[in-house]
Amino acid sequence: MHQLKIAIDSPTQIRPIILQVAVPTPLYNHFDYLPPPGTDINQLRPGIRLRVPFGKSRTEVGILLAVVDQTHVPLEKLKAAQEILDSTPVLPETDLDLLQWASNYYHHPIGQVISTALPPSLNKGQLANMSFLSGWKLTPEGQATQVDELPKNAHRQKAVLNLLQQYPEGLTQAAITTRLSNASSTLRNLEKKGLIVSQAIIYTPSTDDTIHKTSPLALNAAQKQVVTQVSNKLEQFYPCLLDGVTGSGKTEVYLHIIQKVIEQGRQALVLVPEINLTPQTVNRFKQRFTVTIAVWHSKLNNTERLQTWLQARDGLASIIIGTRSAIWTPLAHPGIFIVDEEHDASYKQQDHFRYSARDIAVVRAQRAQVPILLGTATPSLETLYNAQQQRYQHLILPERAGAAVHPTYHIVDMRQQARRESISQALKKAINQRLAAHQQILLFINRRGYAPTLTCYQCGWVAFCAHCDARLTYHETTQELQCHHCGDIRPPDKHCPKCQHPKLYLLGQGTERIEEHLQNEFKEARILRIDSDSTSRKHAMAELLERIHQGEVDILVGTQMLAKGHHFPKVTLVGLINIDGGLYGLDFRAPERMAQLLVQVAGRAGRADDPGQVIIQTYHPDHPLFTHLIRHGYASFADAALKERQQAAFPPYTRLALLRAESLEPQSAMDFLNKAKAQTEPFLCDSVQLWGPVPAPMEKRAKWYRAQLLLQSSQRDNLHRLLSQWLPKLPSSTNEVRWSIDIDPQDLF
């Protein structure tokens, strides 16, 4: 067997070179290899990729963590790596250290952590360099063609021709479809006419000259104070909670501070909670800056992701905007980290490697010694607690920007309405008033589909999912029953399968049913539904938002997708149709999330010159959450909620870890957790308590029976010490029972 050796202490004392490699497997340890035959020792730098044999016949792409001269494996049993894939590290040392920290903190295998942080192309072993992309370029005939020569009704062809005439070197397919949605068929038509040709185009960062640039907006006194305060701290770790009411101009504050960062030749990483917010955020930034702006989200293809990642790593992009997974993007010259809507639960990954992008952003800022802004109108209780403990600066924007004022609230007691009325008389009257004034209305119901329950009044049968402990939702648009947990779809029953009664009934309401009701009630109104069904197609959300901003919509009806950071200046009325379901959630965070959702949805009203009104329909008008939130505001609610958390010994006053197990047999998951609990005995201390195991609130999901064991501690170090000693003792997941650990869980469901 080939063995590369190097002198260490003297010409006569030599020791082997051992490569510690992180391989993307569910095993917690790294793996030792010998270098490939003929390796130049200088190539062996941490952060390079190697192709290594794994198991009997597999090969994997791993990352070199370290080069050492000792191993616990007998040398004769070590395999040699097959190939070194990089001449220089793909991961800088600082990022490799961060990933090692994340692996330790979240108790997740280092190989899978690194795999999560790399673009898919690099995990597959592709070259880490800028590549050629599929694109389009004008032919000589296309260059000579005047746009007016095309048929009068060929609007999309004219738009594409206009665009390509501004870029004689050509544009990538992605760049064209970003500017002009649904352009594929138009491109093919122009190709048939001989006006354009498909060709490979090198992907290079460039500014977007097609977007009209705008000047910075004037700041009010509170905004100016925040910009000055943060701008003076750009050379140090400066964690800030930017607590600004909805419509207070937090984005404008971001833009002013980022301008200072760019002037220093440094980069800004901006996180947004939802993919549907990315296009409007990118457009806002492109209107302001002439630097290269890179985008990262799940709907990019693998090539686009790699190019964004490389632009950021090599310092070619000054601003990186993305969703949760963008937090792993390496930066050549980090200058500031911004987490918009920091309270949003979508920043926590809920499967596989369960990290919090918000918390990782704080760690990255601390390691880079730069500021981090956590912006929101409804701070999470954990972030608010950190501000109260003076770990974070608490920067407040108390008023809306410009002439906008806070909306007024009105609670409607639905117990006084007709039983089948989904929209109260008070809300109908307010809608008619806004329609007459040519203003827009937003109606919120956090349930997609037509009706959440199909039932038989004769015997009480309810349509349940065969794979989950959940009811099936009826969707009128597809005339199907869907499970919103496992995705199962089937036709609706024609008669009761239990008693054979011929008549079944749809109970409850979702966005589709409300849309239908509105169309019948307000026949002249232009109604638009926005939920995950209506926005599933690529670019669909951007197109719908454009219709709203162009005034082509009178009434918007949708789910919480409408609550997250959207700016609708023409909306003056917000109606919350049914939010009672969030008042009595099983999770201890349910009241906090309900309050955040209510404030965020209400914040869409009255963001311009016209005052806004919020109407809340509820069967529980005297619920303390409503009375406290509406009378005293979110800050007062949050203070009261923190006191309750302290009394109950819940986060942020304690730390949690959740061991989840699931099995195909009903009892196996519980049996596994009981055995796992018994194994903690040697490692337990007084500050760590174990609760359970118990079945999960939804015990069966996608055919798997789920159970969980909760660990709680007032001392974070003691909790992590127990986990680091205990988890390696647990058996690996199998096809019968699989398990995972969730550190700082945000969802106990």
CATH topology of domain 132-202: Arc Repressor Mutant, subunit A (1.10.10)
Instruction: Say if residues 261 and 394 touch (Cβ distance below 8 Å).
Output: no
In this prediction, residue 54 carries a pLDDT of: 92
- Residue numbers of the chain with a pLDDT score lower than 50: 1-12, 204-209
d(CA 307, CA 312): 9
Number of Cβ within 10 Å of residue 395's Cβ equals 23
Counting DSSP H helices and E strands in the chain, the numbers are: 21, 32
What are the domain boundaries of the chain?
Answer: 5-123, 132-202, 221-397, 408-450+509-644, 655-743
Strands (E), 274-392: 293-296, 319-322, 334-340, 371-376
Q: Do residues 382 and 392 make contact, with C-beta atoms less than 8 angstroms apart?
A: no
Q: What pLDDT was estimated at residue 211?
A: 61
Q: Over 364-379, what HEC string results?
A: HHHHHCCEEEEEECCC
What pLDDT, on the 0 to 100 scale, is given for residue 10? Answer: 44
- Per residue in 166-204, pLDDT (tens digit) is 777 777 777 787 777 778 888 888 888 888 888 776 554
Beta strand pairing call for 49-54 and 83-84: antiparallel
**pLDDT number for residue 629:** 87
Laid out side by side, the sheet with 196-202 consists of: 171-172, 132-138, 196-202
Q: Which residues 6+ apart lie within 8 Å of 124 measured at CB?
A: 61
**Which tens digits make up the pLDDT trace of 563-604?**
777 778 888 999 999 888 778 777 889 899 999 988 888 888
Which one of 3.60.110.10, 3.30.70.600, 3.40.30.10, 3.30.420.110 gives the CATH number of domain 655-743? 3.30.70.600
| Residue 294: φ, ψ to 5° | -100, 150
Report whether 327 contacts 249 (CB < 8 A).
no
Of 501, 545, 230, 516, give the one whose Cα is nearest residue 375.
230
Q: Return the pLDDT at 544.
A: 83
**List of residues 6+ apart from 585 with CB closer than 8 A:** 591, 593, 594
| Exposure on the CB side of residue 240, measured as CA atoms within 13 A | 29
The reply to whether 408-450+509-644 shares the fold of 221-397 is yes
Give CA angle at 427 (422, 428), nearest 5°: 85
Distance CA 195, CA 140 (A): 8
What are the tokens at 124? Answer: 């597959």
User: Given the structure tokens 């949690």, which residue do they identify?
Assistant: 656
Widest pairwise Cα distance in the chain: 94
**Distances from the Cα of 176 to the Cαs of 126, 183, 409, in angstroms?**
25, 7, 44
d(CA 449, CA 484): 10
For β-strands 319-322 and 267-271, DSSP reports them as parallel
Q: How far, rounded to the nearest angstrom, does the alpha carbon of residue 305 sit from its chain's CA centroid?
A: 16
**The domain 221-397 is classified under which CATH number: 3.40.50.2300, 1.10.540.10, 3.20.20.70, 3.40.50.300?**
3.40.50.300
The CATH number fitting domain 5-123, selected from 3.40.50.2300, 3.40.640.10, 3.40.1440.60, 1.20.58.480: 3.40.1440.60
Q: In 83-224, at which residue ranges do the beta strands (DSSP E only) sit?
A: 83-84, 132-138, 171-172, 196-202
φ, ψ at 623 (rounded to 5°): -60, 135
Q: Please say whether the dihedral angle defined by the alpha carbons of residues 496, 498, 501 and 504, taken in this order, is positive or negative.
A: negative
Class of domain 408-450+509-644: alpha beta
Give the chain's length: 749
CA-CA distance, 721 to 692, in Å (whole number)?
20
Is residue 665 within 8 A of residue 684, CB to CB? The reply is: no
* CA atoms of 511 and 662, how far apart (whole Å): 33
Distance, in Å, from the CA atom of 655 to the CA atom of 688, rounded to the nearest integer, reads: 9
Q: Are strands 319-322 and 473-475 parallel, antiparallel or unpaired?
A: unpaired
- 216: its two tokens: 């910075």
Q: Two tokens at 584?
A: 């009595």
